[in-house]
Amino acid sequence: MLGQLRKMHVRLEQPVQYELPVGDQLVALNPLIGRPIKLTYTGKIFCIHCNRPIKKSFNQGYCYPCFISLAQCDMCIMKPETCHYAAGTCREPSWGEEFCFQPHVVYLANSSGIKVGITRQSQIPTRWIDQGAVQALPIFKVQSRYISGLVEVAIAKHVSDKTSWQQMLKSKADAIDLVAKRDELIAVCETELAEITQRFGPQAIEFLADQSVVDIHFPVDSYPVKVKSFNLDKDAEVAGVLHGIKGQYLLLDTGVINIRKFAGYEIEFSV
């Protein structure tokens, strides 16, 4: 099977169901756990936006012109609190209006430990699965990506806003009382949250008091003791027994590979 890689499709079931896009085809991965698989990189890369052939990809799959021109590749996507739409310098105002000026959710997740994160409401629970979270709890619904970034910054003073991918892949994280942690964080961030509400209005932030913790189970037979990461630019062939899938990683007995990192790479997939 030959084609370009894309990030894996996920479906929240018990456990999470994964499909690997290879060109126009989808490979159901869960049935392959325990079996040897092989990904062979052909040396060709295509931009995931404009599809032109490139020698190097940027930001997980883009050519350089797309990387420096698309709003979805701007720094404010990673750091929403730096949004510059109001300054009139958004790379693609229409894209920003469609994707950034819509409801976002601020959440707590447990992947390599507790973290705070944000995502568009439409990306739940995909975002949590892609991060390898075993628990997640929505805590606020906000009006825009910019406001969600401001809330995240306030909370991130007290808990991490990043995932340690190596730790996430080594084991299943111990359970955390996310509801208790939510209440603790809201109390300690009361002043900052009040300032954001005063600035943008009472409708800007909605506390999601009735949300329950979502438990996520990944299809993993065994976790690696030591995490060795494959790089298709250096290792054209990735082969081994598939022991599990977590986040956007395939866990093989020979190492792990972040599929999302190599979006746009042309590979041959075989079992």
What does DSSP say about strands 135-142 and 205-207: parallel, antiparallel, or unpaired?
antiparallel
Residues 196 and 140 in one domain: yes
- Give the domain extent around 261: 2-64+221-270
Residue 267 has pLDDT above 90, yes or no: yes
Residues 115 and 164 in one domain: yes
pLDDT for res 171 = 83
Among residues 101, 118, 150, the one where a domain terminates is 101
User: What are the φ and ψ backbone dihedral angles of 259, each rounded to 5 degrees?
Assistant: -65, -40
State mean pLDDT over 89-100.
94
At 95, is the pLDDT very low, low, confident or very high (cuts 50, 70, 90)? very high
| Side chain identity, residue 4 | Q
| Side chain identity, residue 29 | L
Among residues 55, 86, 101, the one where a domain terminates is 101
Residues 76 and 109 in one domain: no
Number of structural domains found in the chain: 3
State mean pLDDT over 29-52.
98
pLDDT digits (tens, 9 = 90+) for 156-207: 999 998 989 999 998 888 999 999 999 999 999 999 999 999 999 999 999 9
Q: Mean pLDDT, the chain, as a whole number? A: 96
Residues 225 and 211 in one domain: no
Residues 127 and 229 in one domain: no
Residues 250 and 183 in one domain: no
Distance of CA 10 to the CA centre of its chain: 12
pLDDT for res 121 = 93
User: What are the φ and ψ backbone dihedral angles of 168, each rounded to 5 degrees?
Assistant: -60, -35
Using alpha carbons, select from 90, 81, 266, 54 the residue that is nearest to residue 161.
Answer: 81
Distance of CA 23 to the CA centre of its chain: 21
For the record, the structure tokens of 88 come out as 């009139």
Residue 248 has pLDDT above 90, yes or no: yes
Residue 133 has pLDDT above 90, yes or no: yes
Is residue 250 within 8 Å of residue 218, measured between CB atoms?
no
pTM, two decimals, is 0.94
Q: Which residues pair with 120 in a beta bridge?
A: 104
pLDDT digits (tens, 9 = 90+) for 195-212: 999 999 999 999 999 999
pLDDT for res 225 = 87
Residues 240 and 251 in one domain: yes
